[in-house]
Amino acid sequence: MSSNKKTLVPEAKEALNRFKMEAASEVGVNLKEGYNGDLTSKQAGSVGGQMVKKMVQSYEQGMK
């Protein structure tokens, strides 16, 4: 889904942005508010990967 499309749950947008910034900080990627098109694919991928890792960990914790 393109970032230009409406968020299905508007209240979640801010939480997702905080989550993304936290994940970026954990992997040492310096994100800024707004446009981050100057990131390398490796940097962007490491942020997304960290987000997925944390979501999986959270899900696994909930299963216990």
pLDDT at 1: 44
Rounded distance between C-alpha atoms, residue 61 and residue 30, angstroms: 28
Which tens digits make up the pLDDT trace of 26-41? 999 999 988 999 999 9
pLDDT at 64: 76
pLDDT at 4: 59
pLDDT at 55: 95
pLDDT tens for the chain, 64 residues: list them. Answer: 455 566 678 888 889 999 999 999 999 999 998 899 999 999 999 999 999 999 999 999 998 7
Rounded distance between C-alpha atoms, residue 33 and residue 52, angstroms: 21
Rounded distance between C-alpha atoms, residue 49 and residue 59, angstroms: 15
